Amino acid sequence: MKNHRTALLLLLAAALVAAGCRSRTDRSEGTVLLTVDRISGYPVSVSASSTESGAFQIGTVVLDNVRKEPNGSTSELQTIEMRSYTITYRRRDTGTRVPPPAVLGLAGNVPVGSQAIFNNLAFFTHDQLLSQPIKDLLDFGRDTETGTAVVVLDVTLQFFGRTLSGDEIASSPTTFTIDVTP
């Protein structure tokens, strides 16, 4: 009897592990995944008062359209039509105030088995620059909540689209860290 329980527990554990392996592929509808291949050209530090063109942009974002079933057939209907991306923020320092999230439009197609390259995507807009804690940096030269002249933020991007066949697709979130100074 004890051997049966042990075998049953092992089978249950194996089933849970196998179910966990599909957790990434089951988040989006359809037969394809939208993945962030790489992001590059984003600043490590940025001045909130910068007037430099492109100061609040990511140089390059590469998105891939990957089949869920590697040996499955493909169709043009699996092409992902990009719609938008969201930007959210999280403090990495002792502060609690963060800029509001943003949803920005994004146009372009990502064919199945291929990639699309997007240049100069914004990670801050005027709404974020005119909100706390960034507004404190501009007005007082420091974050009034923490008293520091640097706000450390995780910037998280997530991309959204729809296949030509109508399936809603979302990438996993991707994050980078920046220091914001006055």
The CATH number of the domain holding residue 70 is 2.60.40
Question: Does residue 60 fall inside a structural domain?
Answer: yes
Reading the block at residue 131, the tokens are 């909100």
**Residue-number span of the structural domain to which 130 is assigned:** 29-181
Q: Kindly state whether residue 141 falls inside one of the protein's structural domains.
A: yes
- Kindly state the tokens that stand for 65: 């359209």
Q: Is the separation of the CB atoms in 32 and 112 below 8 Å?
A: yes
Q: What does the alpha-carbon distance between residue 116 and residue 128 come to, in Å, rounded to a whole number?
A: 27
The confidence band for 5, taking pLDDT boundaries of 50, 70 and 90, is: low
Q: Which two tokens stand for residue 142?
A: 């420091």
Q: Is residue 21 in a domain? A: no
Give domain status of residue 5, yes or no.
no
Query: Is 20 contained in some domain?
Result: no
33 within some domain: yes
Which residues in 75-104 are b (16+ Cβ under 10 Å) and which e?
eeebbbebbebebbbebeeebebbbeebee
Mean pLDDT, the chain, rounded, equals 89
Residue 123 within a domain: yes
pTM of the model: 0.83
Residue 175 lies in a domain: yes
What is the pLDDT at residue 107? 97
Mean pLDDT (whole number) for 98-103 = 98
CA 23, CA 32: separation in Å to the nearest integer? 14
Domain count, the chain: 1
